[in-house]
Amino acid sequence: MLLWENMKLALTAIRVNKMRSFLTMLGMIIGISSVIAIVSIGDTMRSMFANEYANIGLNRAICYVMKYDGYYYYGENFTADQVEQIIDAFSDEIEYVSAGEGGKVTGINGRKNYEIVTTGVRGGYDKVQKVDIISGRMIDDRDYEGKKNNIVLEEATAQELFGTADVTGRTLKIKYTPSGSSGDVIDDFNIVGVYRNSQSVLMRVLGGTDNSRGLAYLPESILTDIETNGMFSIDMFVSEDAPATFQQQFINYVARVTNAEPENVRYSSAEEEMMMIDSMMSSLSMAVGAIAAISLIVGGIGIMNIMLVSVTERTREIGIRKALGARTGDVLTQFLIESAVISLVGGIIGASLGAGVVIIGGTALGVDVVVKPSVMLMAFAFSALVGIFFGLYPARKAAKSDPIKALRYE
């Protein structure tokens, strides 16, 4: 009962001294809002990276072999036979394999030249990776086996070269370096399909150029002849059902097949990379958030200061309350609650402000903002704690005052 009375009392005190209360809260408002904003921006970035990796494919992995004799350098390419042997051994776990070949070519339509980044693919690529075909089809096994001059363009590339996305069935001259050739050649390619690539949110926000922008797909066999050149790396998609021990098994097997030491077999998966970035980002936002939290101490000292002034100003009131039967604990609670309420109200305003700024900014950039309710609740709890901690000294001063002296205080 007394708790509720004290809350009302505290709110009244805040209302009566509006300007002073606001200035006192300002420290908490700034502190809490910056912590909330920083943590929310961090969480948003993490979710954006997670999306980005989900697009690339979390189950994508690349494996290649290094050599070591004092220095590391790249080992020999996998031969076609080795690759076949490896794939056969893990046929259940590996869903798609390619050499990961690709490169820049120039697309020519009449007098228009346009640089296109290509990726060599085999049939089934669209089964492991989302390709949003809007007309025609994706490169398939027959294109790969037959080394057909077929290409799948991105919508924007088609627009750039032909002025329309409706280009399926048309021909595009491409200047490139075919496998086994040392010079550029210009060949006719049939456009068998067009796909749409929505630029990633992350790239849009960071303002960078997206590597996947303008990416064109063509049969990998056009770019490299695995039978003669082998493969530098095995670029693969691992089944989601693969056991946790897959990576180590795979490395050991590759080492055996290629006569390399297992520690020289390099294996990097998108998932690992993402987890690394995620943990980096989360510790970074924690660190920056902690720095911002220092301002909360400043805010707390502001509260302590004003509570001391308030206790002095209200010495007589404290004396009256004691004369009327208030116990030491009652006075202590009254002032503690008052400082906790000031701090909490500041925290609530600050948290709303911080979250509001992040949400407005995110909306303007078209980003799905992540503002965790748990973080908000923690901010509220923490601001109340700051109030109680810094209110303790002034409240004790009030509670211990002698009623006779307090009543005489002018």
Residue 311 binds to other proteins (criterion: CB under 8 A): no
Q: How far is the CB of 345 from other proteins (least distance, A)?
A: 19
**Residues of span 66-125 touching other proteins by CB under 8 A:** none
* Whole-Å CA distances, 385 to 125, 257, 337: 55, 62, 11
Residue 397 binds to other proteins (criterion: CB under 8 A): no
- In the list 62, 203, 317, 385, the residue contacting other proteins (rule: CB under 8 A) is 317
Nearer to other proteins among residue 360 and residue 404 (C-beta): 404
DSSP string, 271-312: HHHHHHHHHHHHHHHHHHHHHHHHHHHHHHHHHHHHHHHHHH
Six-digit token string for 392? 């303790």
- Contact mark string toward other proteins, 348..387, x via CB under 8 A: ----------------------------------------
Nearer to other proteins among residue 30 and residue 331 (C-beta): 331
Q: Rounded to whole angstroms, how far apart are CA atoms 237 and 402?
A: 78
307 close to 20: Cβ distance less than 8 angstroms: no
Residue 3 binds to other proteins (criterion: CB under 8 A): no
DSSP string, 150-199: EEEEEHHHHHHHHSSS--TT-EEEEEE--TT-SS-EEEEEEEEEEEE-PP
Six-digit token string for 398? 């009030």
End-to-end CA distance of the chain: 31
Q: How many residues bind other proteins (CB under 8 A)?
A: 22
Q: Rounded to whole angstroms, how far apart are CA atoms 23 and 353?
A: 16
Nearer to other proteins among residue 1 and residue 364 (C-beta): 1
Chain centre to alpha carbon of residue 173: 40
Six-digit token string for 225? 């002849």
Residue 7 binds to other proteins (criterion: CB under 8 A): no
- In the list 323, 360, 377, 381, the residue contacting other proteins (rule: CB under 8 A) is 323
Six-digit token string for 120? 């060599």
Residue 12 binds to other proteins (criterion: CB under 8 A): yes
Residue 309 binds to other proteins (criterion: CB under 8 A): no
- In the list 324, 364, 366, 373, the residue contacting other proteins (rule: CB under 8 A) is 324
Q: Which stretch binds other proteins (CB under 8 A): 33-41, 51-59, 165-173, 327-335?
A: 327-335
Nearest Cα residue to 345 out of 378, 383, 296, 399: 383
Nearest Cα residue to 107 out of 195, 194, 216: 216
- In the list 3, 16, 19, 244, the residue contacting other proteins (rule: CB under 8 A) is 16
Nearer to other proteins among residue 13 and residue 293 (C-beta): 13
Place of tokens 């050499």: 99
Q: How far is the CB of 341 from other proteins (least distance, A)?
A: 17
- In the list 110, 207, 325, 373, the residue contacting other proteins (rule: CB under 8 A) is 325
Q: Rounded to whole angstroms, how far apart are CA atoms 206 and 278?
A: 17
78 close to 94: Cβ distance less than 8 angstroms: no
Nearer to other proteins among residue 122 and residue 322 (C-beta): 322
Q: Which stretch binds other proteins (CB under 8 A): 55-63, 258-266, 286-294, 315-323?
A: 315-323
Residue numbers of the site for other proteins (CB under 8 A)?
A: 1-2, 5, 12, 16, 316-317, 319-330, 403-404, 407
